[in-house]
Amino acid sequence: MSVSRISSRSRRLNKAQKLSVAGVSTLAAAALAFSLVPDDASATTEPQAASAAAPVAYTGSQTQSLKATGLGQNTTDQLVKSVDAAKAEEAAAKKKAAAKAEAKAKAVAEAKSKAAAKKKAEAKAKAAAKKRSAEKASRAADRKPVYANNLDGWIREALAIMDKKDIPGTYEGLHRNIMRESSGNPRAINNWDINAINGVPSKGLLQVIKPTFDYYHVKGTKHDQYDPVANITAAANYAADKYGSIDNVDSAY
């Protein structure tokens, strides 16, 4: 054999090898798809199976099938690595999805927990406010002054009520008029003046008649002309309306 013929054959062999290397991926994919198709599959479905096989993540037995295709150790190793990479990618995607779902569930649980804690705190604050209000009312009741059952006590209690009702008057003005009208006797009654003649005698500490007492009666006091505090407040209310204040009264009114 001549050197030129050997050289020509070497060139042809090298060209064939290059074509083989260029098409190794296509041949390998086709061989892989062929090895995974069931024995009873029809010839018409083989091309479809080959095209669909590329993105599949293979099992261990399918990986062994790759090694039995006879494609060569390097090609088989590359295919096995591709399968392992696809499986790893799929596992990572599942893990990421699971972590996302877990984070979402945790966020929902935390939101519910915060809402429940807020509701509980609001209820607790409301109960505490109610308790403080009750305690305040109780302390106010405990601090309610106790007035002496005498002229000084009656005047002071009447002044406290007058202050709340915005009825003007001072201790001096009340005491001065009481002493002139009844000398401090809450049961005093006038049976001789024109009012008595008309059937409506003046009564009590500040000697008010029944119609005047009824009209100027201060709510919260007894509806009784002889009651010292009720008599004083009604008379002071009447004097404020007619004279500006009980302090401005210095004679019969």
DSSP assignment, residue 158?
H
Number of folded domains that form the chain: 2
Q: Which tops the pLDDT comparison, 64 or 249?
A: 249
Mean pLDDT of 34-54: 41
pLDDT at residue number 61: 58
Q: Which tops the pLDDT comparison, 50 or 249?
A: 249
pLDDT at residue number 49: 40
pLDDT at residue number 16: 39
Mean pLDDT of 125-137: 89
**177 belongs to a structural domain:** yes
**163 belongs to a structural domain:** yes
Tens of pLDDT along 145-201?
Answer: 999 999 999 999 999 999 999 999 999 999 999 999 999 999 999 999 999 999 999
Range of the domain at 40: 3-93
Tens of pLDDT along 139-157?
Answer: 776 678 999 999 999 999 9
Which residue is associated with the tokens 């006091």? 221
**111 belongs to a structural domain:** no
- Domain end (from 93, 109, 129): 93
pLDDT at residue number 55: 43
Least Cα distance to 68 among 80, 54, 57, 86 occurs for 80
Mean pLDDT of 15-22: 40
Residue 32: pLDDT band with limits 50, 70, 90: very low
**21 belongs to a structural domain:** yes
- Asked if residue 107 has pLDDT above 80, the reply is yes
**196 belongs to a structural domain:** yes
**140 belongs to a structural domain:** no
**108 belongs to a structural domain:** no
Measured over the CA atoms of residue 132, residue 133, residue 134 and residue 138, the dihedral's sign is positive
From CA 123, how far away is CA 128, in angstroms rounded?
9
Could you tell me if 89 and 161 lie in one domain?
Answer: no
Could you tell me if 84 and 170 lie in one domain?
Answer: no
Could you tell me if 84 and 159 lie in one domain?
Answer: no
- Name the average pLDDT for the chain: 80
Could you tell me if 158 and 86 lie in one domain?
Answer: no
Could you tell me if 79 and 157 lie in one domain?
Answer: no
- Domain end (from 72, 93, 114): 93
pLDDT at residue number 30: 43
Share of the chain above pLDDT 70, in %: 71
Low-confidence winner among 4-8, 80-84, 168-172 (lowest mean pLDDT): 4-8
pLDDT at residue number 225: 97
Q: Reduced to 3 states, what is the DSSP secondary structure of residue 132?
A: helix
**236 belongs to a structural domain:** yes
Could you tell me if 87 and 164 lie in one domain?
Answer: no
Packed helices 228-243 and 171-182: angle between N→C axes, nearest 10 degrees = 110
Tens of pLDDT along 48-59?
Answer: 444 444 444 445
- Domain end (from 93, 108, 143): 93
Buried b (16+ CB within 10 A) or exposed e, 5-34: eeeeeeeeeeeeeeeeeeeeeeebebbbbe
pLDDT at residue number 201: 97
From CA 92, how far away is CA 66, in angstroms rounded?
24
Mean pLDDT of 64-86: 74
